[in-house]
Structure 1
Amino acid sequence: MKKALVVLTNVTRYKGTTDPTGLWLGEATEFVEEVEDAGIDVDYVSPNGGFVPLDPRGMKYVDESIMKMYESNDFQQRALIHSMKPSEVDPDDYFVIYYTGGHGVMWDFPMNPELQKIALAIYHNDGYISSVCHGIAGLLNIKDDDGEYVIKGKKITGFTTSEEMLAGKRKVVPFLNEDMARQRGAIFEKKRAYKEFAVQDGHLITGQNPFSPRAVAKLLLKAVN
């Protein structure tokens, strides 16, 4: 079995503020735990490579399983300290790319052509593009060889406008994921705010919020088994 590629953010703060952000830890660890329990190896990449900051708000929602992975030397070294650069990634090694969230991704995921190229290569090689929560931002600008958005006409989900309002961040994020997805022709589906929800449409698998990474992983594992 090929490996899973997990995408993490390098952004440390909401732009124009001193308010810290970064990776929402559980959105990485819960997905990784499900995948590794199925015997699949995982690698980590970020737009710049190297250090990955943690969103302090996400640390309020940890449990024993999240902390266990967070405290492991492997995760700290390969994900949080020495994440790979996109230039170090060979798409042929992976059957899925998974974009994690945390508000930081809103600034470094959408306009990264290297990550888009990797995702499209995996997708065209019969692999999967997946995301959870704000990670949908990484999918928004991926275009196929015909110049069409990959999410056009596809059922997807991600952090909703109502959830952004409840989080109190609507005025500080550069755009709203739900609105942007619809503008690109996606069929945006959602459930109640902050309830687990994931949707699959072909080789796209997406989760709505921080409570959905395991649901994304389970849909992925079901699809490949």
Structure 2
Amino acid sequence: MKKILIILTNTRYYGNSKDKTGLWLAEAAEFVYKVQEHGYQVDYASVNGGEVPLDPRSLKSTYRSKEVDEIYYSNDFQNRALEHSLKVSDLDPQDYFAIYYTGGHGVLWDFPNQPALSSITNSIFKQGGFIMSICHGLAGLVTIKDDQGNYLINNKKITGFTNFEEILSGKLLKVPFLTENQAKKAGAKFVQKRPFASFAVQDGQFITGQNPMSGFAVADLLIKNSPKH
């Protein structure tokens, strides 16, 4: 059975500041809950492997649900995702039929321009697999180019954390770039709906979610359009 590869951040702080960031919990947990409910298996990986920090804000009750907590408190997630994530460069893309880039502001530092991420994403894409992201996770796709030197998301309808949502998040001056802007520079057809409402869109092999509220929506599109692996 081929699996879904979940990509997580190793970044704990906003650049050189003391402000903590990391994985936004619900963006991983909601997606994982839904796909596991439908019989899919997942692996968790990061660029460096090992520990994955959580954004402290994502642990607030406002952003929690029974589904999120079920995944978060599971021994599997604590061990395989947060403590001992796999190292991307050690993985075989043939083991996976889909890759899912989670968010949290930390990914803005360790997702772009990563040869290992580019290699495994291109391989999964060429195998006919699904390329997915949620919120800031789109930062993992904006710098990836295909074998012809074209951006992988060029001319694709995608979504991700919007400029307006970044303003509303209060982190505009702390981020190295705006996800929406970078996606457009890569030639993507960026689409969006109202801020902080669940929204996901599919364009062929690409399935993307706008914000932290979109994990279930991304999973639903994958389940609807992929065979059981």
Say whether the fold is shared (TM-score over 0.5).
Answer: yes
CA deviation vs aligned residue, 1:164-213 (integer Å, no higher than 9, x gap): 00001111100001011111110000000001100100101000000001
Is 2:156 the partner of 1:154? yes
Q: Which amino acid in the other structure matches residue 14 of structure 2?
A: Y
Q: What's 1:6 paired with?
A: 6
Q: What's 1:15 paired with?
A: 15
Q: What's 2:32 paired with?
A: 32
Q: What's 2:173 paired with?
A: 171
Distance 1:179 1:87 in 2: 28
Give 1:63 deviation, angstroms.
1.4
Q: Which amino acid in the other structure matches residue 16 of structure 2?
A: G
- Which of residues 83, 86, 105 is equivalent to 1:84? 86
Give 1:87 deviation, angstroms.
2.3
> SS where residue 213 of structure 2 aligns?
coil
> SS where residue 212 of structure 2 aligns?
coil
Tell me the matched-pair count: 225
Is 2:31 the partner of 1:47? no
Q: What's 2:193 paired with?
A: 191
Q: What RMSD, in angstroms, separates the aligned Cα atoms of the two structures? A: 0.7
Segments of 4+ moved more than 3 angstroms: none
Contact kept in structure 1, 2:146 and 2:152, CA below 8 Å: yes
Distance 2:124 2:90 in 1: 15
Structure 2 gap segments, 5+ residues each: none
CA deviation vs aligned residue, 1:40-75 (integer Å, no higher than 9, x gap): 110000010000000011112111221121111111
> SS where residue 97 of structure 1 aligns?
strand
> SS where residue 151 of structure 1 aligns?
coil
Q: Which amino acid in the other structure matches residue 34 of structure 2?
A: E
Is 2:213 the partner of 1:211? yes
Q: What's 1:67 paired with?
A: 69
Give 1:88 deviation, angstroms.
2.1
Give 1:16 deviation, angstroms.
2.0
Q: Percent identity?
A: 57
Distance 2:109 2:89 in 1: 19
Q: What's 1:126 paired with?
A: 128
Q: Which amino acid in the other structure matches residue 41 of structure 2?
A: D
Contact kept in structure 1, 2:22 and 2:105, CA below 8 Å: yes
